[in-house]
Each structure stands twice: as C-alpha cells, then as structure tokens.
Structure 1
Amino acid sequence: MRRFFAALATLQVLAVAAQFFLAASGAFDTAPNEESFQPHRVLGSGILLLAVLVTVAAAIARMPGRLIGLSGLVAGLAVVQFVIRAIAKAFDGAAGELVFGLHAVNGLAILAVAGMIARQAGQLSRSATLTRQAP
C-alpha cells in the first residue's frame, strides 16, 4: 500500500506541474479567458479530488502522521485556490488582480508540499521494501 501511496503522490506532483503549464498556455491564448482557462479549471478540480485521495491513501497505508497531515494540507490549499479566485472576481480592476496574484503563490506552495510528500513517500516505500527483503 505504501508503494501505491508513493505512486499517487508522484501523480499529484505531475498534475500540479501540468497545472502550471495549462495556466501559462491559457494566459497566452487569444481566446476569451473563460474558454482559454477551461483546461486549467478542470485540472484544478481534479487536483483537489486527487489530493483527497492521496490523504485517504496515506491514512490507509498508515503513513506517519506528519505525512498524512501534509497530504491534507494539499487538499486544503487546493480549496484555497477556489476561494482566491472567488474573492478576486468580487473586486474590480487592480485590486482583483493583486488578490488573484495569490493564486500563483498558493500554487507554488501546493507544488512544494506535494513535492515533499512524494519525496518522503518514495523514501518510506523504498525502506519498507528493503526491510521486507532483508533476511
């Protein structure tokens, strides 16, 4: 189960990295914003669901409490992304743009935490495999 958790954590990192690509491609698309950022929004919802799944898998795999907590933190930060977008839309002009800048900063935090989870999950998965193989 630890290897499954490590694989999910790695998938989460890849999804977040892809999210940055989709944000950049949407920013430079000539289509209207609602259309050009649609793939970014869809993957954002998928990342939220994946973060919840990673958290559940961490608990089932009996990972250390800190790792379960970090997994839950990614889910919480993903929810914050939707909150930031809603608050930014409530403001007009420069104020909304400033608030929306937090969306990218929060995305970097998600990437950093997801990377820590994947790294630690990989280490724990490898050590569990080595322990089982030792005579």
Structure 2
Amino acid sequence: MDIKIINTYYIKMINEYSLLSLAGKITFPEVVKKLSEIGTERYIIDLVGLKKLYYGSNDHTYIGPFDFDAPKVAQKFNAEEIKKAITDSQQNKINYQTFLHRAIAAGCTHYEVFITGKKAIYFGRDGSQHIELFPSTK
C-alpha cells in the first residue's frame, strides 16, 4: 500500500490545532477553517484507539496519537445524547473535552468530519450513526 506522508509543516499544524482544541482555545468552526486552509478534506477521531487520521486533498495522509484521557466508550449508542452534546457545543455551553466525554458516554466510538462535505458522522460500536450537517448547511 502506497501511503503518501505529508510534510512536517502540515503535521505540526494538525497537532497544534488538536492541542488548541483540547485546551479550549479554539472552537470546532475555527479548527475546520484552519484545517481547510492547509488542504485537509476530512479527518477521523478514534475515541477507542485514541488516534487521529487526517486526509489531504492531494491524497496525503497523517495518522497520529489523540492525546485525550478517554473513559471506556458506552456499549449502546444514543444518537439523541450525541445531538444534545453537539448542540451544547455549538452554543458554546461546553468545551471540546466535555463534548468528548458526553459523546463517549453516549456510545460514540469514533467520528469523521468531512470538511468539503460540510458534515460530521458519529459512529457507535454496531455501526449506528448520527449525521450532523455543519450549521451553515442546515
């Protein structure tokens, strides 16, 4: 398999945005904007394996650790609770780490953000999912 590794600047920026987001210093819309500006099409956050995977518009990929002290993911997926956590995050009622804890408690094993498709999909252990369009596309 031929994986194209991206340049060190791209990796540095991805890691910086991840840290800033986890520290509550930038919001999800800001992360999406910054990632788009450096050519990211989509990314996956694995809440079980604690990995982050980024895919660039030129087919470059980056896989790195997701430095988050995650509890065990709940067995049952609860799309309604995922939606509530998303809404609270969008209204700046909670920070990213609180959002992650609530998503994990609601059974989210991973989520994928489609920057060019303007949506995020949250997945459970059994393939259950919740699709959330970016606010400007609703």
What is the TM-score normalised by the length of structure 2?
Answer: 0.29
- Higher RCO by CA contacts (8 Å cutoff, separation 6 or greater): 1
**Which structure has more strand as a fraction of its residues?**
2
What is the TM-score normalised by the length of structure 1?
Answer: 0.29
**Which structure has more helix as a fraction of its residues?**
1
